[in-house]
Amino acid sequence: MRAEMSQILRVAGVADPDIDADLLIGHVLHQSRGQVQAAGIMGTALSETDAAAILALVTRRARREPLQHITGTAPFRRLELSVGPGVFVPRPETEQVAQFAIDALGSMPDPEPIGIDLGTGSGAIALAMATEVPHARIFAVENSVDAFPWTTKNFADVGATNATLVFGDLADAFRELDGTVAVVISNPPYIPAAAIPRDPEVRLFDPAHALYGGEDGLDVVRHVSQTALRLLRPGGVLVIEHGELQGAEIRALLAVDGWRGTATHRDFTTRDRATTAIRP
């Protein structure tokens, strides 16, 4: 059955049909991918009930519904997060971006450095910082009424006592922390309004609120820059995720705002993915 399910997904244009087939089978059977593969090699038969349930999920995936929406979960670094309609599904490339903030927090001399995630979505970055730098104090803000229930659930499930979540606009967030923060990170909406994402999973299922950043894609980035200048202490670090063609424009924007040491970094696919800067 694995081969049949993989072929259905392959014909539908799914990028990794074998992996997705294994994960969907494993989701129904409550098995790891390794267990699914071992059962396939051994020719283990499925019950009619399980086969029908798997086929139903594969059919949904063939319509390009995100795998994470079907299973209800998304891995992110050491975490397993709840996701679904209304919240942006965290991507593997964002795990690399989060590393910049985690490394910066870990290098700070403060006994309890403060990190802030602006526009936290599922809570992925904030919770990664909180769990991987447990001596830090982490604050996160989200303003989407559709995403916030997912964020709240993930904060509750992870149970990081050093992480605080609030509902609100990132432009006005955490004024009580002005000038005291060590690291600010954001994965803002950055797709230009007229651009159409290539992948159906993004175009049809990710919330527009988390995708589009105005005419040039940088409207929210501008707010992030100003908010981070307010929040960070001198020497504090800003980390912004962005599209592969936006590095130069974001460095120029940050330079105009007065940031120092701007640098753009590539992800594992050699695409520009994040820009960092230092608060003067």
- Catalytic positions: 88, 187-188
Q: Which residues contact 4 (CB under 8 A, 6 or more apart)?
A: none
Question: Do the Cβ atoms of 279 and 228 come closer than 8 Å?
Answer: yes
Three-state SS sequence of 23-75: HHHHHHHCCCHHHHHHHHHHCCCCCHHHHHHHHHHHHHHHCCCCHHHHHCEEE
Question: Do the Cβ atoms of 210 and 145 come closer than 8 Å?
Answer: no
Greatest distance between any 2 Cα atoms in the chain: 65
Give the SS3 label for residue 222.
helix
Q: Name the burial class of residue 76, with classes exposed (0-12), middle (13-18) and buried (19+) by CB atoms within 10 angstroms of its CB.
A: buried
AA letter at 7? Q
What does the block give as tokens for 16? 């990794």
Cβ atoms < 10 Å from Cβ of 62: 18
What single string gives the DSSP state of each residue in 250-273? Answer: HHHHHHHHT-EEEEEEE-TTS-EE
Q: List the one residue out of 270, 240, 267 whose CA is nearest residue 253.
A: 240
